[in-house]
Amino acid sequence: MRSTVRQHTSRALGRRAKQSRKDRLDMSASTARRSISSAQLTIDSSMPADMPGCPSEMPAKESLSFGKVFSPHMLRCRYAKEGGGWQSPEIVPFQDVALSPAASSLHYGMQCFEGMKAYKTLDDEDDIRLFRPDMNMRRLKDSMTRLAMPGADFDPQELIDCVGKLVRLDKDWIPAGEGYSMYLRPTVVSTHPYLGLSCPDDLLLYVISGPVGPYYTTGFEPVRLTADTEYVRAWPGGIGASKVGGNYAATMKPGAEANRAGYQQILWLFGEDREVTEVGSMNVFFMLEREDGSGRELVTPPLSRGDILPGVTRRSILDLTQEWGEFDAVERSITMPEVRRAAHEGRLVEAFGAGTAAVVTPISCIRFEGEDIEVKATGELTKRLFAHLTGIQYGKIKGPDGWSVKL
């Protein structure tokens, strides 16, 4: 009797052990499907059919305009709840995206994106690099989380590896020379094919790219800003800290009004105190002499309210200047009345915007409450930061670990 019980117990334990192993394997497979995997990447290197903006050969680099020419391949990866999560990524010829007319990205703004660049170093055209791609991936994940998109827990390095293979495939579309690069646009859109406000079950992540030239073709071109607008870009509790299309769509009308008034961009303010937030689609910096004469400080508005995008260039400028230790680089609230007072007292040394496209953009004028406040441009710090950051990007200067990533 005892022997029989032991045999039954042993068989039962064996069955449970086998089932446990099967469950672990199933769970492992499910986890693998949920995460983007560069090991599962497939590549179709054939050339695309004729499409607007996608020529068979890269145009002369001197003729390039931002966002008008695209490289011949794109990366895409689908997320399907019923399929277990992220599917296998693939590189395919550049092509249109098919969407249901009911897709929630079209009706409810369920989409986010990133902007980054790949560079050829100046002394070796086969040495191709990305600049701080981990920060772009982190921000993309944060934007997806803010939009309640599933799959935001993907491994950022896996997506960076996939992007690296896309760049390598189309490396001949990275124009050589300082100021030239390949612009990369990772994008996530909801393909959820139903109307109704709900979190999406289906997504498409894709990355398109294209050759771009220098933002400034004839040297720095300072911009004139206006802060005299009735519009607000973002507010606490909103989505100003996420890189989503809605943040940009809402700036088109006020931007056009500013252009008609003779100003290139808007300096966005918030609240009764007229706190500075961003300039156009860039972060903004002010170099000030302190009122007490104790030295200079570089000021940029803080991220704490959640209405300012955490820019990669912004973070890099703070990291560099804090490392230099020559002046205080601080994140604090700054109001337009404070900026105006500093200008009137001769303490506004310089001001500039910062972003991926231009790196830094000098500011020469800010209109506020009917007054054009003139700013010295281009300032020495603006020039120095541009030279140092681009030096790292093009391999002329060794930057901090992890900033310049070789592919």
**pLDDT tens, residue by residue, 331-357:** 999 999 999 999 999 999 999 999 999
Confidence of residue 264 (pLDDT cuts 50, 70, 90): very high
pLDDT at residue 26 in the model:
43
3-state percent breakdown (helix, strand, coil) of the chain, nearest 5: 30, 30, 40
Q: What are the residues facing 79 on neighbouring strands?
A: 86, 203
Confidence of residue 192 (pLDDT cuts 50, 70, 90): very high
Q: Please state, in angstroms and rounded to a whole number, the distance separating the CA atoms of residues 327 and 303.
A: 21
pLDDT for residue 219 is more than 90: no
Estimate to the nearest angstrom the gap between the alpha carbon of 96 and the chain centroid: 22
Q: Please state, in angstroms and rounded to a whole number, the distance separating the CA atoms of residues 26 and 170.
A: 37
CB neighbours (10 Å) of residue 53?
11
Q: What is the pTM of this model?
A: 0.90
pLDDT digits (tens, 9 = 90+) for 17-63: 444 444 433 434 444 457 899 999 999 999 998 888 999 999 999 99
Burial of 181 (0-12, 13-18, 19+ CB in 10 A): buried
Retrieve residue 287's tokens: 């170099």
Cα distance between the two ends of the chain: 68
pLDDT for residue 2 is more than 60: no
Q: Please state, in angstroms and rounded to a whole number, the distance separating the CA atoms of residues 357 and 136.
A: 14
pLDDT at residue 10 in the model:
44
Total number of residues shown for the chain: 407
